[in-house]
Amino acid sequence: MTTHSSSAQILDGKALSVQVLDELQATVSARIAAGKSQPGLATVLVGDDPASHIYVRNKRRACKKVGVASFHHELPAETGQRRLLELIEKLNQDPKVHGILIQLPLPKGFDYDENEVLSTIHADKDADGFHPFNQGALLQGREAPIPCTPKGVMRLLDLAKLDLSGLHAVVVGRSNIVGKPVALLLLARNMTVTICHSRTKDLAAEVRRADVVVAAVGISELVQGDWIKPGAVVLDVGINRNAEGKLVGDVDFHAACQNAAWITPVPGGVGPMTIGMLLQNTVEAASLKD
């Protein structure tokens, strides 16, 4: 068997996110120098999911780096929906808070209704772009906060400098947070978009037709390297631990590198971009106020 040296170029999300945060820091300094308010992001963490704690800690660190005020609230899992909605109402009214983020998932086995919680956030303060009003705006192609991970995927895709119009994108995964919104963003670039999911009959055949692959299913290395069309761009949203405890994406990275022209690594690809886009949504929300 011959071994091929990998040919794909890396879409470096870590480097791009540093650049995004640097630019935001300059924007925030300029706002403050001009006598405008400091942008503020409220993070709300319900329960004790360890991964969620790490994600929120990283989001708060990024706030500090950029000069965005961070207001953090932790509630025990048994707090219940009524108290959570009261807190959201308080944050809706607080002029220092420009963005509100409720870390998902909410604890299972309690009375939380995720849709109701997300609808309670004022649409103007929806740093995640999860409010139904903002999701509807995305569907209709109107200006609104865009969910952070899909927005980060598009920024990375832009690094490949492809003329996307008429090309075929395959999105693997249909979540409200990633799969559906990223499909809409690709469609808005005039791509032909296929959304695949757990009931798709022949996933390999669908992916083989893709000029752009977005993998967002949360299954370790589900997408095989030989499914990737030569020259395709591969964006891997997955963050999974494999059987050996190693962090891997939804794509078999090393095998995919043989065929892809551009690919995001895990870690260091889409993940860091999500935080950059969250801060961008927060700073943009503040700039709409003054």
CB of 279 to ligand GUN, least distance (A): 12
Are the CB atoms for 167 and 198 separated by under 8 Å?
Answer: no
Are the CB atoms for 214 and 206 separated by under 8 Å?
Answer: no
CB of 222 to ligand GUN, least distance (A): 19
Are the CB atoms for 198 and 172 separated by under 8 Å?
Answer: no
Give the span between the Cα atoms of 119 and 103, in whole angstroms: 14
Query: How many chain residues touch ligand GUN (CB under 6 A)?
Result: 9
List, in order, residues 6 or more apart from 194 with CB less than 8 Å away: 168, 169, 170, 171, 206, 209, 210
Exactly one of 220, 259, 264, 274 binds ligand GUN (CB under 6 A); which one?
274
Give the span between the Cα atoms of 48 and 73, in whole angstroms: 13
Task: Please state, in angstroms and as integers, the Cα–Cα distance from residue 260 to each residue in 8, 157, 255, following that order.
Answer: 5, 13, 9
Are the CB atoms for 269 and 233 separated by under 8 Å?
Answer: no
Segment interacting with ligand GUN (CB under 6 A) among 96-104, 156-164, 260-268, 280-288: 96-104
Q: Does 282 bind ligand GUN (CB under 6 A)?
A: no
Exactly one of 27, 79, 149, 280 binds ligand GUN (CB under 6 A); which one?
149
CB of 102 to ligand GUN, least distance (A): 6
CB of 32 to ligand GUN, least distance (A): 26
CB of 42 to ligand GUN, least distance (A): 11
Name residue 290's amino acid: D
Among 225, 250, 149, 258, smallest CA distance to 157 is for: 149
Nearer to ligand GUN among residue 237 and residue 251 (C-beta): 237
Residues 158-187 that bind ligand GUN (CB under 6 A): 177
Nearer to ligand GUN among residue 114 and residue 290 (C-beta): 114
Give the span between the Cα atoms of 150 and 154, in whole angstroms: 6
Nearer to ligand GUN among residue 49 and residue 206 (C-beta): 49
Q: What angle do CA 65, 138, 53 make, to 5 degrees?
A: 35
- Treating both helix axes as pointing N-terminal to C-terminal, what angle do 13-33 and 270-287 enclose, rounded to 10 degrees? 20
- Exactly one of 49, 103, 135, 180 is catalytic; which is it? 103
Active site residue 59: yes
Active site residue 211: no
Active site residue 94: no
Site string for ligand GUN, 105-144 (x = CB under 6 A): -----------------------x----------------
Among 274, 225, 249, 289, smallest CA distance to 7 is for: 225
CB of 23 to ligand GUN, least distance (A): 21
- Exactly one of 49, 126, 128, 250 is catalytic; which is it? 128
Q: Does 148 bind ligand GUN (CB under 6 A)?
A: yes
DSSP bridge pairs for 74: 45
List residues near ligand GUN by CB under 6 A: 101-104, 128, 148-149, 177, 274
Residues tagged active-site: 59, 103, 128
